[in-house]
Every structure is written in C-alpha cells, then in structure tokens.
Amino acid sequence: MLFNSAVFLFAFLPIAYTVFWGLRTTRSRHVWLAITGYVFYGYWNPWFTLLMLFSTLVSYSAGLGFLRWSDARHRKLCLVIPVTTDLALLGFFKYANFGLDTAQATLHLLGMQVMLPHLNIILPIGISFYTFHTISYIVDSYRGTIKPTRNFFEFAAYVSLFSQLVAGPIVRFRTIEADLEAIGATDRTRWLARGVSFFIVGLVEKVVVADSIAAFVDPALSHYHLLSTVGAWLAMLGYTFQLYFDFSGYSTMAVGLGMMFGLRIPQNFNSPYKSLDPSEFWRRWHISLSTCLRDYLYIPLGGNRHGEAQTYRNLMLTMVIGGLWHGAAWTFVVWGGYHGALLALHRKFGRGWDTMNAGVRQIAMFVLVVFGWVLFRATSFGMALSLFHTMLVPTNGALVEQPVLAIGVLAIAAWWAMRGPNVYEMNLSLSLRRRAVLTAAFGASLALIIGSPFSPFLYFQF
C-alpha cells in the first residue's frame, strides 16, 4: 500500500486513526498499531508478513535473553544468533542472486565454464529497513544502550510501524521507546494539526514535484543512448531532484503520520542540496541511515581512532557497504566507494576547499552529487559510462519530452531544494492563510494521485 494511494488515504488511514484514538489503554494501542502494520505490509503480499513476524520474534526473544542473562557468553549468543539470522534472511532475499552472478562471472574469468543457478526470489519490500530496526534493537540491547522490552506488542508495533515500515526513516528503538511507552497518554490534539501539515507537505513533494519530474526523466533514461548532452544533463538533473523529493516526501509523510499517532519519528532529510562539502551532504541526506552506519559499522570498525590510514579504510568500507545496502549491484558498490572517496578527499584537502566562495562550493558539491547519481541510477556500468560520456562530451541527440515544461519544473524543484525551506523550516502554524495553502496543496495532490498512473516510491526497491 502506498501513502499516495486512494485506498490508503480514504480507507486505511481513517480507520487506523479512528480506532487508535478510540482505544483507551496503552496495550490495546500497541496491539492495534501492530495489526495496522501487518495489514499495511500484507496488502502487498500477505506471505511476507510471516517473514516480518519471524524476524520480530527472533529479535524479541533476543531482548528477553538480554534481560535474563548477564554473563558475557550468553549475552554474546543473544547478539550473534539473532543478528546472523536477520542478516541471513536479508542476504538470501536481497543478495543471493548477486552473489551467484558475481561468482559465475568470476569463474568465467578464471576460465571455468560452470553454470550456477539463478534463483527465482522476490525481494520483500522494506526488508532492508525492518532488518535495520531489529538489528539496531539487538545491538543496542547488547550494549546496554536500551533496556529491552518485555511487551511483545510494543516491540511488534515498533518493527511493523506502518508509517516507516517500507522505506524508513530508520527509527531506532531508543528514539521511539518513550513515545511507545506513553502512547496511551498522548495528547491527540497536540499532534494532529502538525502531523497533517507534515503529511501534506510530503505529499506535495512526492506527487506534485517528484512525479512531475518523473514524467520526463523516466522515458528519457529508458532511452539514454539517444540523448544529447543537454538532454542527458536535463535527465540527470531531473533524476537528482526526483530522487530527493520522492524520498524526502516519503520521509516527511512518515514523520507526519507518526505525529498523528503520537510518535516522534526523527528527521531524515535536511535540505541536502544546500551542502557545501561531502561531510555536510551526509549530515543532511538520509540522516537515519548515515547515523546507523556510523554507530553500527564505522565506530565498531575503529572509526578514526587508529591513525589516518585506518580512518580512510573505515570510511571507505562504511560507504561501500552503505552503497551495497541500497541494492545488490556493483554500481551501488561503486557509488558508495565514490562517496567514500569524496569524504576521504575532503578530509585530506578540506582546508583548500573551504576557502572557496560558499556559492561555488554549493554548486560544485551539487555537481559531484549529480555524478554520483549517474552510478546510482544506472542499471549497468555500460549505462553509467554512456551517460558520463554524453554529459561530458558534446553529443547530438534527443532532448527530454516537453523540454520547456521540464525546465520549468526543474527550476521550481531546484529553488525549493537548494534555496527554499524544508518542512522543518516552514512555519506550519494554523493561521487561516496557511490552512488555505495546505488545503489547496492537498486538493492539487489528490487530483494528481487520482488522475495519474500508478507511481511507487523510488526507495521501495531498497
């Protein structure tokens, strides 16, 4: 089920909301949140709810184990077994074919004509996200950062929380634990207005901006080999903004939905295209992922505590694995490595970079990010190289569809992303004028949702 679908807006959400606030006890609200999460997820494919339930039970049991045992050996077992189980599930569903294909190619390179099977696996939507939720819960429990919960439904509600189940933000138990525990005592009116405002702003980001851009970007990139240099730049600039508004829109809607149910879901985007350098970009882009990578990968690898060489190694490893988390393809690995290299170069030569004019740094950083998105969007290295070639070497060919309209939409998107306020910087108080603006925005979004072809969120694939 999509946030930008009529069935979600007019059936699922009103029912989920009305029943939730009609319930009186904390326990019943936990149960209801868990049920809504499973219905939301099962709407796509009911069988995969069993997978989520299994992952939830394993992690919940690990939490009980941490509460029961205090000796190092048992605690280690409670860490290793469930994390391995979660990673095995993720590995099988997301990376099995990638591994087999890579092995096949390697064997061919070595001159061995072996045919490895290609497994017919459907990737469960959101598995990367809820696996992160369960692993972070287990690791934080092991570290003593959080006290595991004995309340199964509280934990099930956390894992299956529909607002952030399939595409984040990645919410750690510690950030939402207090709200979940106090969910029976939440002040409904305190949250509703702001939650609705966030949701509408997110809807506009996704439906009005991202989907309008998609209308010319998707056809252009499906025939990328026909594009001219200008066409390729328009398509990639379009994709740059499409990806941001699509994902940011989803996250903003998730935060808004969380507020409607009395849950504070952390900010995931902070105007990343306003960044002046690579470090700032990763402080602003997909914040929930970068903090997780930092806390569960970079720091355990040693962080920057063992000298410069080790720091660069850890940085590259973190970003490469972060790239692989996005998708089972070598293009994602190289994209991660590219950003790792940018972070390392900025760490090494940052002083020189920082002396440049801020406007120049913002544009330069933006262009570097656009080049990164070429790798991210490309379905093969051939496509990436072709796009790089077309963008950098003057080439005759096609423009995007309806170029004047496309440039107009891009200009609006560029202003909003690079100069305008993000949802946290907007004044969302309930003055009549602002209510009028939000009402009109909702009307426009709804017209586009109903009158347009199906449009899933880009980050669902991860």
Active site residues: 326
Q: Which stretch binds another protein (CB under 8 A): 55-63, 80-88, 365-373, 437-445?
A: 437-445
Question: CB of 106: closest distance to another protein in angstroms?
Answer: 32
Question: CB of 416: closest distance to another protein in angstroms?
Answer: 18
Count of residues interacting with another protein (CB under 8 A): 63
Of 233 and 424, CB closest to another protein: 424
Of 116 and 441, CB closest to another protein: 441
What is the separation, in whole angstroms, between the first and last Cα of the chain?
16
Q: Which residue has the tokens 């996704």?
A: 206
What are the start-end ranges of the H helices in 144-228? 152-160, 173-181, 188-203, 211-222
Residue from 127, 138, 146, 166 in contact with another protein (CB under 8 A): 146
Structure-token pair, residue 82: 């469930």
In the range 198-237, which residues lie near another protein by CB under 8 A?
215
Question: CB of 262: closest distance to another protein in angstroms?
Answer: 11
Residue from 282, 366, 376, 457 in contact with another protein (CB under 8 A): 282
> Does 361 sit near another protein (CB under 8 A)?
no
CA 49 – CA 24 distance, rounded (Å): 27
Q: 91-118 as b/e, with b when 16 or more CB fall inside 10 Å? A: eebbbebbeeeeebeeeeeeeeeeeeee
Cβ(284)–Cβ(270) below 8 Å: yes
Of 31 and 444, CB closest to another protein: 444
CA 387 – CA 227 distance, rounded (Å): 9
Residue from 102, 229, 279, 395 in contact with another protein (CB under 8 A): 279
Residue type, 90: L
Q: Which of 127, 159, 128 is nearest to 62 (CA)?
A: 159
> Does 170 sit near another protein (CB under 8 A)?
no
Q: Centre a 10 Å sphere on the Cβ of residue 27 and count the other Cβ atoms it contains.
A: 14
> Does 186 sit near another protein (CB under 8 A)?
no
Q: Centre a 10 Å sphere on the Cβ of residue 427 and count the other Cβ atoms it contains.
A: 8
Residue 227 φ/ψ, nearest 5 degrees: -75, 150
In the range 304-323, which residues lie near another protein by CB under 8 A?
304-305, 311, 315, 318
Of 158 and 282, CB closest to another protein: 282
Which residues of the chain form contacts with another protein (CB under 8 A)? 6-7, 10-11, 143, 145-146, 172, 174-175, 187, 189-194, 215, 259, 264, 266-267, 270, 279, 282-283, 287, 290-291, 293-295, 298-299, 303-305, 311, 315, 318, 343, 346-347, 402, 405, 424, 429-430, 432, 435-436, 439-444, 446-448, 450-452
